[in-house]
Amino acid sequence: MSIAFLKSITVLKDIVNMGFSSDYASIISRIWRPNPGSDKERETKELVKSKMPELYEKICNYMGKEQQTSLVPVKEQVVSYTTFRPFFKRLDASFKDARSRMKDKAIETSNPFLTISIEDTFDSGKKFQVIAKIASSVETKWGNWIEQAIPIFNKSILYIGAGGFDYILNDVVYDVKSGPRVMNKDQVEEAKMKHNIINSLSESKDLSEMIRIRDFKVALAYGKESIAGIFMRNSEGLMLFGADTWEEITGDEWNAYRLYLWSIRHSIEKTKKSWNTGELEGAVIYFLNSFYDDHSDKLQTALSLPEYKELERIVK
């Protein structure tokens, strides 16, 4: 039996009725719906057991002793370019699929008023729509991809991927977003509501002992507050931007930069097109500008990391 039983809202509500306050049935159901791949099931079960011992025991007793199988310890893994090579190939395939599908469907689903208004000619307007639709689709694909990629850097992350809750780390639940301009006013208000509800309920002894959650945050994979949408600024701790996201969730803000360099390396290997040192340094500045308002003290570190030195050797 796998951790899949945690997906069942009915089972969770039954467990609540066995002794937990029914007031918390819906919030538990919304939070605890993990959806890991089969290769992650044992690891996820280990994390659930460690972070929710009381709830884990209740579920095991409810589902039967067969749930209490021996667990494989989480193995430490050195994360490298080789680790991410299959992830990059998966992203390539999703981009290819998006380009193929949107090329045919872009005009069918596009705004006809915009199409005839955005450019000087009708044909130019249609070309614009195709490019715009593909760009939107691949941005979404990348957002889904980075959500899966970040946990590779930290095996303690419990991946959920449902109900607006992507990760749980320690006693904080995170909703991962790709960048700093992806949320409108209503979405920000909804996130604030989740934040307030979880903070409030975590003060309850029943809930805090049951699921060990005390906070909710929106974690942005890249970007900085100064370029964020107006409603995403001044969030009083709700939003984590770029470097802060990677520092808090993976333990090292430079992991974002490492993944960026590995992305460049994969592109070079895939396209067989060479870069020069000037282009590489320009790409580094581009990255730092996206993450930091003042990166004068970051550039030296960026150019000295082993991952950069290896990529520099490849492009020369």
For residue 205, which amino acid is it?
K
Rounded CA-CA distance 258/264 in Å is: 10
Residue 53: how many other CB atoms lie within 10 Å: 12
pLDDT one-digit tens code per residue, 223-233: 999 999 899 99
Residue positions counted in the chain:
316
Whether pLDDT at 198 is above 70: yes
What pLDDT, on a 0 to 100 scale, did the predictor assign at position 34? 41
Query: Among 65-69, 74-78, 136-140, whose mean pLDDT is lowest?
Result: 65-69
Full-model pTM: 0.75
List alpha helices for the chain, DSSP H: 9-17, 25-31, 41-51, 53-63, 81-109, 112-115, 122-149, 185-201, 205-211, 242-250, 255-271, 277-291, 299-304, 306-315
Whether pLDDT at 70 is above 60: no
Using a pLDDT cut of 90, give the percent of the chain over it: 51
pLDDT one-digit tens code per residue, 112-138: 999 999 999 999 999 999 999 999 999
Q: Average per-residue pLDDT in the chain? A: 80
What pLDDT, on a 0 to 100 scale, did the predictor assign at position 31? 41
What pLDDT, on a 0 to 100 scale, did the predictor assign at position 9? 39
In the block, residue with structure tokens 């538990």: 28
pLDDT one-digit tens code per residue, 247-278: 999 999 999 999 999 999 999 999 988 899 99
